Structure 1
Amino acid sequence: MRAVVTGAGGFVGRWLVRHLEEAGDQVVAFDRDLDVTDGGALRQVLADLTPEAVYHLAAQSHVGRSWEEPVEVLRVNCLGTASVLDACRRLASPPRVLVVSSGEVYGAVPAERQPIEEDEPLRPLTPYAASKAAAEAVALQAHRGYGLPVVVARPFNHVGPGQSTAFVVPALAARIVTARARGERTVAVGNLEARRDMTDVRDVVRAYRLLVRRGEPGAVYNVCRGEARTVAEVAERLVALAGADVVLEVDPALVRPVEVPALVGDPSRLVAATGWQPRYELDETLQAVLAEAAAEAPTP
């Protein structure tokens, strides 16, 4: 299958390109070399490549940072998606398109309605989540209005080697490894009570390819494990796996202005459509993240 990946230089994009190539797909990867808000450039590029599948990952993806740059986040995440879809629908043979949204679009869902199903109303709490909800609306309109074969993925938290320390798990791993190396006794953390559904990035990208091949156009799919973990649990596992003798200490500067207390998804629709099952357990993922943190840690 001839596939185009936008946002291919990002954390998930790099793993996706690797997975597609290992599966035998012909992949053209774009990152900062292609502005997804430039409709003219997109139309020319896709007309030249005639892809059979487009994986649209390009986005401003840091939830905390979206509070500082809400207009830019909306421009890239919503208008960029609209430009990609417009370029795809104008092709003589439109490709199947996967638009990657986020479980953050659900917002704060009461505990009695979790794990969250795809029909749950969207109540985005952050500028990032609002931009993804808007991108979903554009994607589903492209299917309903133009017949473009679009599938929307709503991944919940995903982790693994290669993720920026701007995100919680690699940030915790880096602080723990550094504290251990320097003989420090405390590690700064943010909100430890938040509960998240965490999936290894290598499992996430398998789900993306399966959705392109087997997902129903116009449908939305959660990509998640369906299991809740508190940040405290994850931090304690990282400490244990690292063999560090440290105490976790909440730093108010690391606490976001608005935090969804719990976000756990139901992957039943994904499993029914594709047969997907996660292969990596949390400890395997955390060990890989710690190994990378140790390799990059500064010499004490």
Structure 2
Amino acid sequence: MRCVRVFVTGSGGFVGCHLVARLQAIGHQVTATDREVDVSDASALEPAVRRAAPALIVHLAAISSVPESRNEPDLTYRVNFLGTRCLLETAQREAPDARILLIGSADTYGSSEPGAKAFAEDAPLRPGSPYARTKAAADLLGAEYAAKGLDVVRARPFNHAGPGQSDAFVLSSFARQAALIALSQIQPQLRVGNLDSVRDFLDVDDVIDAYLALSDPKVPSDVYNVASGRGVRIGDALDEILAIAGVKPEIEIDPERFRPTDHAVGNADRLRSATGWKPRTPLSRTLERLVQDWRERLSAT
């Protein structure tokens, strides 16, 4: 993909930081926006997009925590749905020829039964939280604007992790707690949710590879899962994190950490066929990087 002007929303988030760094390393001219530009406010968003004159827009801005979405449903609706609508309307006026990459979520599929086929893009959407419902609505809105002629590509990433991630997410939460225990900063007790849940995990670097591949205007405008296709039991991932950290804590089940999705694995055949993308980072390496990142962050405070 040739170097172009790129407008990124949500650039201060976990994935946004990784994406902006990669785009800049490649040589793209990046306009990175975060909370200083309210994506649901056209008076703030329109001049920012107009100045950037982007050939590519990557929309990452979102309330991405399921618990936060339950505590702040109105804010979640405003950012995730109204913000997406405002972005699409703005792009239609200020950057009608830009490719727009909307980052959705595999949470929109809900949960499947153990042993069921991996979710393909034509699976019914059964969102089970305010976060998932607003992301599903934004996803379908993207399809509507694509039908109007905008070059919209929708990505539905499954779980991903890596350095810099908040501990609001399961693997990062485990890694932080394990690192705290290893550094003797807390008692050897680790709080968890449903350890029998099964998820499809990717490294953030592989997710960025997928987003860059989908940014190529030669790739058809469509909806694409970003997934490994491999289900991992949460308890098995925890065991590996504890082994990496070298700790053996008492495990405490916390009902507050349970989520509406128990089993979710994705099929990324469409993405592979369109771009040749495939994940390169083994989960073991992702977990090593997570634990090391938390050790460094906690040691510095």
Aligned residues: 296
**TM-score, normalised relative to structure 1:** 0.94
1:52-71 equivalent positions in 2, closer than 5 A = 52-71=55-74
Instruction: Return structure 1 stretches of 4+ with deviation > 6 angstroms.
Output: none
Give the aligned partner of residue 153 of structure 2.
Answer: 151
Match of 1:210 among 184, 208, 213: 213
Within 1, Cα distance between the matches of 2:128 and 2:106? Answer: 12
Within 2, Cα distance between the matches of 1:299 and 1:83? Answer: 40
Q: Does the CA contact (< 8 Å) of 2:54 and 2:95 recur in 1?
A: no
Distance 1:24 1:91, change over 3 A: same
Within 2, Cα distance between the matches of 1:89 and 1:252? Answer: 44
Distance 1:92 1:211, change over 3 A: closer
Within 1, Cα distance between the matches of 2:116 and 2:27? Answer: 40
Instruction: Confirm or deny that 1:233 pairs with 2:236.
Output: yes
Give the aligned partner of residue 114 of structure 1.
Answer: 117
Give the aligned partner of residue 196 of structure 1.
Answer: 199
Within 2, Cα distance between the matches of 1:126 and 1:72? Answer: 14
1:121-160 equivalent positions in 2, closer than 5 A = 121-145=124-148, 147-160=149-162
Runs of 5+ unmatched residues, structure 1? none
Give the aligned partner of residue 293 of structure 2.
Answer: 292
Identity of aligned residues (%): 40
**1:187-217 alpha-carbon deviations (Å, 9 max, x no partner):** 2211111110000011101111110104312
Within 2, Cα distance between the matches of 1:42 and 1:299? Answer: 36
> Counterpart of 1:278 in 2: which secondary structure?
coil
Q: How much has 1:282 moved relative to structure 2?
A: 0.7
Match of 1:180 among 179, 182, 188: 182
> Counterpart of 1:90 in 2: which secondary structure?
helix
RMSD: 1.7
Within 2, Cα distance between the matches of 1:290 and 1:186? Answer: 17
1:242-257 equivalent positions in 2, closer than 5 A = 242-256=245-259
> Counterpart of 1:153 in 2: which secondary structure?
strand
**TM-score, normalised relative to structure 2:** 0.94
Give the aligned partner of residue 164 of structure 1.
Answer: 166
Give the aligned residue type for 1:152. Answer: R
Give the aligned partner of residue 272 of structure 1.
Answer: 273
> Counterpart of 2:215 in 1: which secondary structure?
helix
Q: How much has 1:181 moved relative to structure 2?
A: 2.9
Q: How much has 1:248 moved relative to structure 2?
A: 2.4
Q: Does the CA contact (< 8 Å) of 1:153 and 1:220 recur in 2?
A: yes
> Counterpart of 2:296 in 1: which secondary structure?
helix
